[in-house]
Structure 1
Amino acid sequence: MTKIAEVRRFYARLLALQAGAQDPRLEKAFATVPREAFLGPGPWTIVAGFKHPVETPSADPVYIYQNNLVALDHAKGINNGEPLLHAMWMARAAPRPGEHVVHVGAGTGYYSAILSKLVAPGGSVSAYELEADLAKRARENLAGFDNVTVIHADAVQAELPAADIVYVCAGVVAPPASWLQALKPGGRLVFPWRPSEAIGLAVMVTRLDKGFACDPFMRSWFIPCVGASHSDAATKAPTRAEAEHSRSLVLTAKKAPDKTATAIFGDVWFSSRSLTANGRPN
C-alpha cells in the first residue's frame, strides 16, 4: 500500500514541474502540507468539470492528491481551489523568506499554509476570510502555523496592512485602491480579474517606483468577491483584447484616465501603457 506521504510528494513534484517553478521550495511546500487536513472529514466531493459533483469512494486522502477542485460548500460554489493554478500563481509571485503576504479569500487555509512555508523563515501571512464558518475552520486548521494570522473580515472594506504580496482568491471587476496602496515597493498583487461575465484573467500587478505594472498572464475563473464584483461600476468595460493588453494600473486620484485607458472602474483604471523597471512610461 503506497504511503500517503509518498503520494503527496509525487503530487507536489507534478505541480512544480507543470507550473514551471524555479524555486524548489514550492515543491517542498506542497509536499509537506497535508491537503486533507483542510477539507474536513471524507469522503469528499470532487467538482468535476467545474460543475458536476463526484464523491470520492472513501475517506482515503489518496483521492484528493490530483489537480481537482474539492468542495468546501458546494451550495455556495466554494471549493478548495485548483492546486496547479495556485502553484502557477505562486511561482509567478515568487514569495521570499521574510516577506508578508495578505491572503484575501483564505477559505479553510490550505493555500495560506503553503504561502506560510514560502515566506519562512521570518515571514508571515495575514489570512482574510469573509465567511464566518470558513474563517473558524481556517483558524483551527492553521493553529500549528505560528506565522499565520486568520482574520474574519471583509478585505474589500478593511485597511490592509503593508504587504509584499496581496494574494486574492475571489474574482473582482477591479482591485480596490486600498489593495494597491497596501503594496510595499516591489510588492506584488495577484488577483482574478473578472471585468465582465465573458472575461476571466489572472493578473499580477507590481508596484514600481512611479506606478503599478500590470501583467495578465493566464485565463482564470473564480467565484465573485463580495463588494468588488459588480460590473455596473465600470465607466469603461474592456473587450477581451483590451483586457489582455492592459500593462499598467493607475489610481484615478493620481491621474485621470487618458486615451490609453483599456478599462475604468471608479478609483482605478487600466492602461495599455507599459512601465519600465523604474515605473516610468515606456
Structure 2
Amino acid sequence: MGRALRLSAAAAAVVWSIFPIAMVVLSSFKPQRDIFAIPPQLVFAPTLENYVRLLAEWPAFLPNLLNSLIVTIGATLVTVLFSTLAGYVYARYRGRLLALSAFFMVVVRMLPPIVVTLPLFPLFSWLRINDTHLVLVILYAAFFVSLSTWIMRAFIDQVPRELEEAALVDGAGLFQVLRMVVLPLVTNGVIAAALFVIVYAWNEFIFALVFTTRVARTAPLVMSEMMSTTDGVDWGVLFAAATVQLAPVLAFILSAQRYVIAGLTAGAVKG
C-alpha cells in the first residue's frame, strides 16, 4: 500500500511537471484555431505553419537566440572558473574573514534581482557596457557564483587532502595541485554547477530587460514582446518560439540529469 502510494505520488508529480511542456510543444504544431479548442484535440495533423510565421514575422528571434547562447556560454565559463577557485579556498582554509564573506554571498543571493539592478545601472552606463554581451555575462556570473561556490566546496571537501599533500611533496605548486589533482576528481561538480548556470542564464529576463536595448537582446525579451502586441497574442507563433527556446536546454539537461541530482545532493552525506 505504501509503495503504491509513493508511486502514485511520483507519477502525479511527473505528469504535473510534463503537462505544461507537452502542451506548449504540441500546440506549436497545431493551427491557430485548434490550439484552445474545447474539447482539446489530441489527434491532429501537425503543421510547421507557426514556425514559418515565426521566422517571417519575428526575424530578430534567431539573432537574439544566438545572443542568449553567447551570454550563457560566457557566464557559465566565468562562473565555473571563479566558483571552483572559491570553493577550493572555502574547503581548505578557515578564518573569520572567509566566514564573513560566505555569509555575504548567501545574503546577496537572497536579494531579488531588481534590487541589484538599481545601483548597477548608472555604473554600467558610466562604463559604457550597457547593451553588450559582457554586461550580462558579468551580472549572471555574479548572481550565480555563490550557489556554484557551495556546490564546488561540497565536492572538493570529498577529495582527500593526502593527495594534495603528496603532490606538494613531489614539487607541484598550488595551481598545479588544483589543475592536476583536484579538478579531475571534481569533474561531476563542475558539470553540476555549470548546468545550474546554463538554465538560469538561458531563461533570465530581468537583467536582460534592464541592461539591453538592441544589440545584446536575448530570446526571452522577444517572447515577451510577442505577448504584448496590439493585435493580441498569436499563440501559435509564441508556442513555436517557446519550443525553439526550450529545446536546446531541455535536451542538455535530460542528457546530464545525473549531474543535476549530484549537485542537489552534494554534501548531503558525509563519509
Which TM-score tier does this pair reach, normalised by the shorter chain?
under 0.3
Larger Rg: 2
Whose RCO is larger (CA < 8 A, sep 6+)?
2
